[in-house]
């Protein structure tokens, strides 16, 4: 998930997936978009054998971790099911229409062969917005075997050229430059076919007028048959009068992975919040609104939370298993982390192979997260070594020092 991939520096928002490779592939077809209000949604469906009876809170929570709704089936058991396009799961565990004015764009078609991985390409959409957009939700739908994709926005005179698919290197595109000159919009969960990144009501990412959206292409056909498909991206914008808070991105990554063979292991670290303080001497203020983790197939757990100081004990985010489902989590109300001494994050892996697994694409692994917060800065924290740090829960633990880059973000809010 490397939104900010390996850029040779502690790349802000080296976030979350491919896009730093240099393989070539050919995208076919055109792609198109529809203007405000042209989105649409389908009615919620309880599916075959479901009764329409809502689940209890435990059932709702079990389904919500994969952004699925919950109903009690005819036998009385909770059953998870997907909402339709233009919908999201509400607090009761049922499907509801995503609020906001929809702008929808269909990108070009790709075809991949069994086992084929495609990287090194970008695709763009010049929105044509004459005024700022206040994006409260993003919906991605894809049937092209997208392993992961990262989406930035930039002024429409940057990385200029025809919209569609193009080699990233032809326009000197990298995600760090794009994030700094514009901003970060969204990152896709691993292999997710449909996902909604929905912030709490009134929380938005501001996309300035005259913007271009750029996404990296990272396809991975893990099946036995050719796959042909495309991706559609929908933005759900609020009226400015509905905006309560504008969000900034942050990214944390453990790219010093060295996962031992034939064993389970944990890689974790703590990043001091002192590195997030500004030069004005003001106390740290940051409220987390959204978190999205990223691992590959050997990932068994991702966790994140504050430690020390005035922070509440326990983990803010803790999810197990890899299943190709949407794994982003919104927080309403948001979580104040300004009083913490450090931010702790990490992953657990189960390596069945005879050789170690490193950080990387394809059959290698990643351990990282993208988040959105209320703050006047953005940051990236990175751990680049794997030093033995004892045992926990019957498995070896590895850690390393954390480097953090803080970037002013108030001019983008």
Contact predicate 132/239, CB 8 Å: no
> Residue 43 falls within a domain, yes or no?
no
Per-residue pLDDT tens digits for 26-44: 333 345 555 433 333 333 3
pTM of the model: 0.86
Candidates 85, 147, 155; CA nearest to 126 is 155
Query: Is residue 228 located within the same domain as residue 371?
Result: no
Contact in structure between 341 and 309 (CB atoms under 8 Å): yes
The region, left, alpha or beta by phi > 0 then psi within -120 to 50, assigned to residue 319 is beta
Q: Do 92 and 130 fall into the same domain?
A: no
pLDDT for the residue numbered 309 = 82
266 forms beta bridges with 348, 397
Cα distance from N-terminal residue to C-terminal residue, the chain: 25
Query: Do 119 and 211 share a domain, yes or no?
Result: yes
Say whether both 60 and 76 belong to one domain: yes
Asked if residue 134 has pLDDT above 90, the reply is yes
Number of structural domains in the chain: 3
Q: Are residues 331 and 403 in the same domain?
A: yes
Rounded average pLDDT over 47-53:
56
Of 188, 220, 243, which one is at a domain's C-terminal end?
Answer: 243
> Do residues 54 and 156 both lie within one domain?
no
Tokens of 245: 């808070």
Please enumerate in sequence order all residues whose Cβ is within 8 A of that of 401, keeping only pairs 6 or more positions apart, or say none.
269, 383, 385
Residues 88 and 143 in one domain: no
What length is written for the chain? 413
Position 44 in a domain:
no
Residues 348 and 309 in one domain: yes
Average pLDDT score, the chain: 87
User: Strands 248-254 and 377-383, how do they pair?
Assistant: parallel
Range of the domain at 63: 50-97
- Of 322 and 17, which is predicted with more confidence? 322
Q: Do 273 and 236 belong to one domain?
A: no
Q: Are 27 and 191 in contact (CB under 8 A)?
A: no
**Which pLDDT score is estimated for 401?**
98
Together in a domain, 105 and 93: no
pLDDT tens profile 111-129: 999 999 999 999 999 999 9
233 and 318 housed in the same domain: no
In a domain, 93, yes or no: yes
């Amino acid at each position: 998930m490397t939104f900010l991939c390996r850029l040779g520096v502690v790349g802000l928002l080296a976030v979350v997936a491919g896009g730093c490779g240099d393989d070539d592939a050919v995208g076919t077809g055109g792609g198109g978009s529809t203007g405000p209000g042209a989105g649409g949604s389908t009615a919620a469906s309880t599916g075959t054998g479901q009764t329409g009876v809502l689940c209890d809170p435990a059932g709702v929570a079990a389904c919500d971790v994969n952004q699925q709704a919950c109903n009690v089936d005819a036998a009385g058991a909770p059953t998870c099911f997907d909402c339709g396009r233009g919908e999201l799961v509400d607090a009761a565990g049922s499907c509801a229409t995503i609020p906001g004015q929809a702008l929808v764009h269909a990108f070009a078609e790709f075809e991949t062969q069994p086992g084929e991985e495609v990287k090194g390409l970008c695709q763009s959409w010049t929105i044509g917005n004459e005024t700022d957009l206040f994006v409260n939700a993003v919906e991605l739908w894809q049937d092209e075997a997208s392993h992961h994709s990262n989406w930035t926005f930039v002024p429409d005179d940057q990385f200029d050229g025809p919209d569609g698919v193009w080699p990233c290197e032809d326009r000197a595109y990298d995600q760090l430059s794009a994030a700094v000159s514009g901003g970060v919009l969204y990152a896709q969960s691993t292999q997710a076919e449909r996902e909604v990144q929905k912030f709490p009501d009134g929380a938005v990412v501001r996309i300035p007028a005259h913007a271009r959206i750029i996404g990296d292409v990272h396809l991975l056909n893990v099946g036995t048959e050719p796959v042909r498909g495309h991706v559609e991206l929908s933005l759900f914008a609020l009226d400015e009068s509905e905006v309560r808070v504008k969000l900034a991105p942050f990214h944390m990554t453990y790219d010093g992975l060295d996962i031992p063979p034939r064993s389970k292991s944990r890689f974790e670290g703590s990043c001091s919040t002192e590195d997030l303080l500004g030069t004005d001497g003001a106390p740290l203020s940051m409220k987390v609104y959204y978190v999205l983790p990223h691992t590959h197939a050997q990932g068994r757990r991702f966790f994140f939370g504050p430690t020390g100081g005035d922070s509440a004990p326990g983990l803010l985010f803790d999810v197990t298993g890899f299943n190709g489902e949407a794994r982003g989590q919104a927080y309403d109300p948001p979580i104040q982390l300004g009083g913490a001494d450090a931010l702790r994050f990490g992953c657990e892996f189960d390596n069945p192979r005879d050789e170690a697994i490193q950080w990387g694409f394809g059959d290698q692994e990643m351990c990282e997260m993208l988040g959105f917060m209320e703050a006047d800065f953005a940051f990236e924290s990175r751990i680049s070594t794997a030093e033995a740090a004892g045992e926990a829960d019957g498995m070896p633990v590895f850690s390393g020092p954390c480097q953090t880059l803080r970037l002013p973000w108030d001019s983008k809010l």
